[in-house]
């Protein structure tokens, strides 16, 4: 979907001046909080946020990866491939080359991520931070699937 009025915007959580993104998440039922280190990316159509995601980069001596969190599409705009459009933008513009972009997908979204070039992270070392998040979800009775996009 190519729209001339589409604009991609990014800002780190600690730089985010506009409450527009927080209102978008709240209006659409997302309960996560924007953290200062989060890279926030969103898609606007005609001045309205229609899709958003947060990315957290993890770097250490042994591993470097990015974690996709809070990918949401406005409830009234779902099914129009806006989430896919935002994911393509993120993978091309906001994730360092040769860095893996992980996510914890809800089971009903597995096919969506697979359609967008993600693979199950089975057989691949899952970073400790991601494994910890997955375990927290399990303790709360929520299932998730570790998935990865290799950005090259």
> Does some domain include residue 134?
yes
pLDDT at 1 over 80: no
pLDDT, tens digit, 9 for 90 and up, residues 61-106: 666 788 999 999 999 999 999 999 999 999 888 887 778 899 999 9
Mean pLDDT of 11-27: 85
Q: Please indicate, yes or no, if residue 1 is contained in any of the structural domains.
A: no
Local confidence band at 123 (pLDDT 50, 70, 90 cut-offs): low
How far apart (Å, rounded) are the C-alpha atoms in residues 151 and 116? 12
Domain presence at residue 86:
yes
Tell me the residue range of the domain where 89 lies.
6-151
The one-character DSSP state at 128 is H
State the number of CA atoms in the 13 A half-sphere of 32 facing the CB: 16
Question: Which contacts of 53-61 are long-range, i.e. CB under 8 A and separated by 24 or more positions?
Answer: 53/86, 53/87, 53/90, 54/13, 55/90, 55/94, 55/95, 55/101, 57/96, 57/99, 58/127, 58/129
Output the pLDDT for position 22: 87
pLDDT of residue 58: 76
Domain count, the chain: 1
Cα–chain center distance at 18: 19
Could you tell me if residue 82 is inside a domain? yes
Please report, for the domain that includes residue 10, its CATH number: 3.40.630.30
* Strands of 46-85, DSSP E: 48-59, 64-73
The whole-chain average pLDDT of the chain stands at 87
In a domain, 128, yes or no: yes
- Residue 96, pLDDT score: 75
What is the pTM (predicted TM-score) of this model?
Answer: 0.87
> Is 37 part of any domain?
yes
Give residue-wise pLDDT tens across range 33-56: 888 888 999 999 988 999 999 998
Q: For residue 126, what pLDDT band results from cuts at 50, 70 and 90?
A: confident
Q: Is residue 71 part of a domain?
A: yes
Establish if 70 belongs to a structural domain: yes
């Amino acid at each position: 979907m190519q729209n001339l009025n589409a604009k991609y915007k990014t800002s780190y959580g600690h730089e985010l001046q506009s409450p527009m993104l927080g209102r978008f998440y709240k209006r659409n039922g997302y309960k996560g909080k924007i953290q200062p280190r989060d890279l926030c990316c969103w898609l606007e159509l005609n001045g309205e946020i229609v899709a958003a995601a947060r990315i957290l980069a993890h770097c250490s001596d042994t591993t470097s990866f990015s974690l996709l969190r809070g990918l949401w599409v406005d409830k009234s705009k779902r099914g129009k491939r806006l989430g896919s459009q935002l994911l393509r933008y993120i993978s091309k513009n906001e994730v360092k080359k040769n860095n893996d972009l992980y996510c914890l997908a809800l089971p009903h979204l597995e096919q969506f991520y697979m359609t967008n070039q993600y693979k199950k992270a089975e057989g691949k070392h899952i970073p400790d931070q991601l494994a910890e998040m997955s375990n927290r979800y399990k303790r709360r009775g929520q299932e998730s699937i570790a998935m990865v996009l290799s950005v090259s």
